[in-house]
Structure 1
Amino acid sequence: MEFGDILFEKESGIATITINRPKALNAFRRQTLEEMIQAFEDAGQDPDIGVILLTGAGDRAFCVGGDVKEWGPSGYDGSSWIDIGLPVIRLQEVIRSAPKPVIAVVNGYAIGGGHVLQVVCDLAIASKNAIFGQAGPKVGSFDAGYGTAYLARLVGERKAREIWMLCRQYSAEEALNMGLINKIVEPSELMDEARNWANEILRLSPSSLKMIKASFNADTDHIHGLTQLAFGALNFFYGTPESLEGHRAFIEKRTPDFSEFRARGERS
């Protein structure tokens, strides 16, 4: 199985999926997501695999969300009324539905859509230099499904609203304190610690773990419907002047001016 945007390895019961676009801070494009979906489905169905690790190449970023170079005048190419042109929903679904634990191994920036990826994983271990946060309202975008509703389950609704409504960035220590991640380690120890956790999981009953994960998911499966609605709305929003202003400002490295849309929101 050959991939261009990711690395996919299996060893001793552990599958490791690595987003391999370090020059783009591991931002994902359609190809990246399609390859990740294929790898997750393969690992999820492989009876020799008991744990899946998700990480990013290099030491700067886990993932910073969608690649802005793939963004056009009305959003990402190939969009439909329930799809922004990137199969983000499908990837989130396959991570949640994999019948074995998925551990996010966060080695740097986890921002925007990349932050949501680590949110939907079952567990998360981060290096001390990891940075977490959302950026949607800064750039004319949002994730009003798992990125909001499920995030609130992890950190509490008040903190989740802060994360989205202020678009601040948070250190690994802050992420640990709010319940966003499970553990912090030195960067040089990150993958070793992730494999230690994976090996500990491999000593447990796989059928029990499968049913436990399904039980946790059942409590929040309604968020899937919210996610579909949210991405449908996001597709429409990407074609508005308000969203375009956020995107242009990001590309031009300036502060966006959303003032006219605050006064005339019905025209955006």
Structure 2
Amino acid sequence: MEKNDLFVKKEAGVATLFINRPEKKNAFHYDMWRAFPRLLHEIENDTEVQALVIRGVDDSVFIAGADVGEFQTVRATEEGEAEYNRAVEEAEAALMKFSKPSIAAIQRHCIGGGCIIALAADMRFSAHNGLFGITPAKLGIIYMYSSTKNLADIVGPSRAKDLLFSGRIVGAQEAYQIGLVDHLYADEEIIEKTYEYAKMLTKRSQRTVKGAKQAIDEWSRGYREPSGALKQMIDSSYSSEDYKEGVRAFLEKRSPNFTEN
């Protein structure tokens, strides 16, 4: 992989994972899928980071899909196909398991593999120029089970079927209406508003954020009861330093200064 096809920058508690292949509309090639989990692991272990933004390096595109141009080489055999799919699945799983809040900031194309990344993030913020499509029906392949589940969980089974059966491209307004997009902003405001939100999250209790994220993730995986780890997180929160600071700040009518990571 070209060393800068994916790169990370940090500022004020927010890490940004940039997709830097605008000449190919940020299409993901095999080595980018392979590198994605490693970069997330590094951000996960960085105690100075409380939130993640994923975006294109400029305002031209988010991710226009996988790099179909390499399919006839890297996916030419059954072994190559399996290895490629494994790399995509591992990238998706790494983002879904990422413990810090993640936001996909979407400008223009978010197609195919771009939707895999966006759907695995916690939230999707889009500019009005956003375009969304999941297009395996135009390639003769079947979308990964995990990605299909993510889509159906977010937009519902019927709308997921519509998008998958047709492979049609939907605009940002429709994506927002069906729940595929969480926040919709003017083209010139999307980046500013995304970072404004991400920086706000760094001021919240990270204990609360992580607990809420794990609770929702467990619910989406079909847990009937909280796991032991989640139960311990909930119980211990009431004796935590963040809780004490939150109560003090409320009584003193000031903003809390949370210190736990």
Taking the aligned partners of 1:81 and 1:110, their CA distance within structure 2 comes to 23
Larger Rg: 2
1:1-150 alignment runs, 5 A limit: 3-72=3-72, 75=75, 79=79, 82-84=82-84, 87-150=87-150
Letter in 1 for 2:57: A
Unaligned runs of 5+ in 1: 223-268
Residue 80 of structure 1 and its aligned partner are, at CA, apart by 5.6
Letter in 1 for 2:9: E
Taking the aligned partners of 1:20 and 1:76, their CA distance within structure 2 comes to 26
Taking the aligned partners of 1:96 and 1:5, their CA distance within structure 2 comes to 21
Residue 19 of structure 1 and its aligned partner are, at CA, apart by 0.8
Partner of 2:197: 197
Q: Percent identity?
A: 24
Contact 1:78 1:85 in 2 (8 A): no
Letter in 2 for 1:4: N
Taking the aligned partners of 2:72 and 2:84, their CA distance within structure 1 comes to 11
| 1:58-96: CA deviation from partner (whole Å, max 9, x where unpaired) | 333211221112212682679467533561111111111
Taking the aligned partners of 2:144 and 2:86, their CA distance within structure 1 comes to 16
| Distance 1:127-1:152 versus aligned 2 partners, 3 A rule | same
Q: Which has the higher contact order (CA 8 A, sep 6+)?
A: 1
| Distance 1:73-1:212 versus aligned 2 partners, 3 A rule | same
Taking the aligned partners of 2:218 and 2:83, their CA distance within structure 1 comes to 24
Partner of 1:242: none
| Distance 1:87-1:144 versus aligned 2 partners, 3 A rule | closer
Contact 2:74 2:84 in 1 (8 A): no
Residue 115 of structure 1 and its aligned partner are, at CA, apart by 1.0
Letter in 2 for 1:7: F
Instruction: Give the alignment's TM-score, normalised by structure 2.
Output: 0.79
Residue 33 of structure 1 and its aligned partner are, at CA, apart by 2.0
Root mean square deviation of aligned Cα: 2.1
Letter in 2 for 1:60: S
Instruction: Give the alignment's TM-score, normalised by structure 1.
Output: 0.77
Structure 1 segments (4+ residues) deviating >3 Å: 76-83
